């Protein structure tokens, strides 16, 4: 294992999670929970399959990831974060904070996008304004990638995939959807930038953040 050879906490941390792709593997496991190998590959477009296997081995040995064989009938391997791995959440959160301004200019020509990458930025700003009312569900399609928002316990969380009977549907470019969910633009500005919006407007205004000036 390659190390910096420095008796410094930052260097020691980077010895374990500083390699290329490593923190992105952790990002996937934090955003989606326990994952199969194939799910990870899908959430890490561009990674070579041998590298993913390498990183999972390294992370397992570092005590960050644990591997469990799911029993039949599933009969697959599930990768999940250990408690030590979940403690990397603040690191990822601050990296996300620092990187958010870079998202405003939109994706590069051949950037890929995945719905789960909205989970953290969204739940950082979204709250349920009427926690005692019946829960609502909002389907989101950003660049065609499906996810849905659900109110629960005063907060809002995002799940990858399609909801059964959503109260509203938001559809548009990832940049616009992300700007809306993170409070950088409001519904009117989003609509002007290409957001399609169907269903219950009240449900939307219940969870969407107030846009703040930048």
Partner DNA sequence: CCGCATCCGGGGCGATACTG
Partner DNA sequence: CAGTATCGCCCCGGATGCGG
4 versus 104: smaller Cβ distance to DNA: 4
* Shortest CB 109 distance to a second copy, Å: 10
Half-sphere exposure of 158 (CA within 13 A, CB side): 30
Which residues would be at the binding site for a second copy (CB under 8 A)? Answer: 3-14, 16, 18, 20, 23-24, 27, 45-46, 87-88, 90-100, 102-103, 106-108, 110-114, 117, 121, 174-175
Could you tell which of DNA, a second copy, none binds residue 32, using a CB distance below 5 to 8 A set by kind? none
**Looking at the DSSP assignment, which residues form a beta bridge with residue 66?**
80
Q: How far is CA 65 from CA 54, 106, 117, in A?
A: 12, 32, 20
Q: What is the CA radius of gyration of the chain?
A: 19
| Nearest residue to 69 (alpha-carbon basis) of 79, 60, 83, 57 | 79
100 versus 189: smaller Cβ distance to a second copy: 100
Q: Is residue 48 at the binding interface for DNA, with CB under 7 A as the rule? A: yes
Q: Is 206 helix (H, G, I), strand (E, B) or coil?
A: helix
Binding site for DNA (CB under 7 A): 2, 19-21, 36-39, 46-51, 53-54, 56, 67, 76-79
């Amino acid at each position: 294992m390659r190390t910096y050879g420095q008796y410094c906490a930052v260097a020691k941390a980077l010895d374990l999670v500083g390699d290329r792709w490593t923190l992105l593997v952790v990002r996937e496991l934090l955003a989606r929970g326990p994952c199969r190998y194939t799910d990870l590959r899908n959430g890490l477009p561009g990674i070579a399959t041998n590298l993913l296997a390498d990183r999972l081995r390294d992370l397992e040995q570092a005590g960050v990831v644990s591997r469990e064989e799911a029993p039949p009938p599933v009969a697959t391997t599930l990768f999940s974060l250990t408690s030590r791995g979940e403690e990397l959440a603040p690191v990822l959160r601050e990296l996300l904070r620092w990187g958010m301004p870079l998202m405003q200019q939109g994706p590069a020509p051949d950037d890929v996008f995945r719905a789960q990458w909205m989970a953290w930025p969204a739940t950082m700003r979204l709250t349920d304004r009427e926690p005692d009312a019946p829960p609502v569900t909002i389907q989101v399609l950003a660049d065609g990638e499906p996810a849905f928002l659900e109110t629960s316990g005063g907060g809002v969380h995002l799940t990858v995939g399609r909801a059964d009977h959503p109260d509203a549907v938001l559809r548009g470019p990832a940049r616009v959807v992300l700007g809306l969910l993170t409070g950088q633009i409001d519904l009117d500005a989003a609509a002007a930038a290409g957001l399609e919006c169907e269903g219950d407007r009240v449900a939307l205004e219940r969870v969407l953040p107030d846009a703040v000036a930048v």
